[in-house]
């Protein structure tokens, strides 16, 4: 059974050395909790948690969630999974295993401990949406056999498992559907549009836009996302989700490229490449549920979050 000796909780974060996971750990430690960071370092990096070296309330365990884990914790944030197309398409079978076997193993742990568990799901469950903006009751438009399916369908299956463990075993679950997130500690070669554009602009290389750049995304700064994840975890038990977490302000890819060029003072030119298979044309969250049930909405506009992200990449590239 999960312990509850005092207000300090022992919290497991899988994928804790990743981009979002490491920021989540910063926040949880700042709240005074003990944190167990679990990561197999496939896409995560110890560099992301290096500033926490020797922190008395952080423990690191190198482990793959595809295998069972036997620890004692009060809460579980299941963040483990490659999240960028470059990384999840590198080993698609392993990506599906991480989503599905990882969910089974973490849900089994939560069931044994009677611990609350949060699943980091994704806006990719909506596929290339025919509904805009996307609400949580939209079932999606997903290709089950495409090159992105390992991630899209893996996350959809993980959501199924979470709700079945909730209905069948009474596990306390939270499901967050995370939309495009950016900020310091993004992997420089993860192929995501924000990191791609910044790295290319800083290096003076051509900025590669897929298609004509008219496709849209909404970009949420990582600090805002972390607040949303914690608000969902701490919400009443009946708030299971799924809950969209993202910034509803929509930009075209070309507008993002132009902002990056302006903020970096780069002379890089924009070049157009063919659009990848199953690339969504539109992506924008409806966050009504997050506002009403969690009292959450993002605070950082793109113009405020981009400079901090650029500063991080500039420092990284100058090392």
The catalytic position among 77, 151, 165, 221 is: 151
Supply angle C-alpha 51, 52, 53, rounded to 5. 95
Q: Are 98 and 65 in contact (CB under 8 A)?
A: yes
136 in Cβ contact with 241 (< 8 Å)? yes
Name the 3-class secondary structure at 115: coil
Length of the chain: 319
C-alpha distances out from residue 19 to 29, 113, 130, 186, 316, Å:
16, 27, 30, 5, 14
Do the beta carbons of residue 111 and residue 165 sit within 8 Å? yes
- 5 is an active site residue: no
In 1-56, which residue ranges form alpha helices assigned H by DSSP?
19-30
Q: Say if strands 250-252 and 216-218 run parallel, antiparallel, or are unpaired.
A: antiparallel
Token pair of 264 as six digits? 């970096």
Distance CA 232, CA 239 (A): 8
Residue 12 to residue 117: CA distance in whole angstroms:
9
Give helix then strand counts, H and E, for the chain: 9, 13
Output the 3-class SS for 120-186: EEEHHHHECCCCCCECCCCCCECCCCCCCHHHHHHHHHHHHHHHHHHHHHCCCEEEEEECCEECCCC
**Residues marked as catalytic:** 151
């Amino acid at each position: 059974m999960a312990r509850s000796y005092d207000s300090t909780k022992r919290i497991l974060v899988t994928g804790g050395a990743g981009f979002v996971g490491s920021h989540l750990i910063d926040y949880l430690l700042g709240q005074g909790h003990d944190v167990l960071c679990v990561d197999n370092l496939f896409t995560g990096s110890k560099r992301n948690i290096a500033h926490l070296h020797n922190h008395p309330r952080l423990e690191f365990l190198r482990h793959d969630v595809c295998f069972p884990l036997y620890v004692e914790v009060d809460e579980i944030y299941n963040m483990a999974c490659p999240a960028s197309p470059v990384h999840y398409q590198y080993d698609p079978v392993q990506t599906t295993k991480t989503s599905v076997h990882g969910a089974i193993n973490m849900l089994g742990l939560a069931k044994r401990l009677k611990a609350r568990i949060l699943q980091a799901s994704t806006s990719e469950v909506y596929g290339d949406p025919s509904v805009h903006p996307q609400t949580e009751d939209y079932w999606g438009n997903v290709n089950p056999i495409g090159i992105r399916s390992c991630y899209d369908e893996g996350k959809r299956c993980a959501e199924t498992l979470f709700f079945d463990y909730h209905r069948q075993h009474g596990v306390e679950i939270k499901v967050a559907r995370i939309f495009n997130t950016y900020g310091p500690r993004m992997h420089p070669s993860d192929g995501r549009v924000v990191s791609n554009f910044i790295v290319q602009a800083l290096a003076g290389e051509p900025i590669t836009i897929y298609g004509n750049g008219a496709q849209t995304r909404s970009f949420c700064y990582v600090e805002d996302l972390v607040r949303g994840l914690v608000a969902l975890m701490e919400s009443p038990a009946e708030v299971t989700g799924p809950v969209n977490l993202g910034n509803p302000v929509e930009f075209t890819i070309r507008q993002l490229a132009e902002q990056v060029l302006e903020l970096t003072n780069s002379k890089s030119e924009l070049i157009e490449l063919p659009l990848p298979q199953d690339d969504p044309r539109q992506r924008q969250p409806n966050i009504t549920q997050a506002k009403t049930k969690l009292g959450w909405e993002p605070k950082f506009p793109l113009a405020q979050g981009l400079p901090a992200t650029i500063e991080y990449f500039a420092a990284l590239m100058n090392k």
